[in-house]
Amino acid sequence: DPRNGLLAYILEPAKFPSDIVILYNDKAVLVRDAFPKATVHLLLLPRDPLKRDLKPRDALDDQEFLDMVRKEATEAVKLAASELSRLIAPYSDSCKARIAAMECEDPPDELPPGRDFSKEFKVGIHAHPSMNQLHIHIISRDMHSDRLKHRKHYNSFNTDFFIPLEDFPLAQDDVRRQTSYQNANLSKEYKCWRCGKMFGNKFTQLKAHLEEEFKAWRKE
């Protein structure tokens, strides 16, 4: 079953090259998403056999497990941020300003702060995942990717269909638990993640706009 495609990483992480399985310990495996929907897109896979096959909302209702996942996710975001920094810093005005201040003959006592790349990440799960094993997305906000080809690819990360890890445990009456609500999210009109502009059902126009926003975003 292709829906079990993430299980091999959980069972035998050492079998994969280090550019696919980025790191692992006894609790979790961090892998690169094979079809990244943004500049940096990683998946954190908890290994606990009692949790990994549960629906995310059920697994993450357990506070102790949730705490463990949050701890692993924090480490994963640091790694993802350093990767994003390598890719984006050469274009970033705030990174350039910091480097210029460091390199000048008489550096100021306080350097410009540069850019906190960890703030550029979303960490969370899909309300109704397509893959069976529990996975937490660690994805940069830009949605700039050749692999972004369908409405679901965009809306599953840019509506309430994406549930941030920090929102768990969900209240029993949280509307995001409802399948009908989540199906409606996937068919919503496109909304730019950065400026909020609406694009109706016009995917090609959204893609062109995402290209422009990507350039502006990496320049921040």
CB of 195 to Zn ion, least distance (A): 3
Would you say 81 or 163 has its CB closer to ligand 5GP?
163
Would you say 30 or 95 has its CB closer to ligand 5GP?
30
- 135 given a catalytic annotation: yes
- Reading the block at residue 101, the tokens are 């201040």
- Positions touching ligand 5GP (CB under 6 A) are 5, 31-35, 43, 126, 129-131
- Reading the block at residue 138, the tokens are 């660690």
Would you say 115 or 144 has its CB closer to ligand 5GP?
144
Buried b (16+ CB within 10 A) or exposed e, 154-164: bbbbbbbbbbe
- Spatial distance between the Cα atoms of 92 and 197, rounded to a whole number of angstroms: 23
CB of 40 to ligand 5GP, least distance (A): 13
> 213 is in the binding site of which of ligand 5GP, Zn ion, none (Cβ under 5 to 8 A by kind)?
Zn ion
CB of 145 to ligand 5GP, least distance (A): 10
Buried b (16+ CB within 10 A) or exposed e, 98-125: bbeeeeeeeeeeeebebbebbebbbbbb
Q: Which of 41, 126, 135, 144 is catalytic?
A: 135
Active-site residues, by number, are: 135
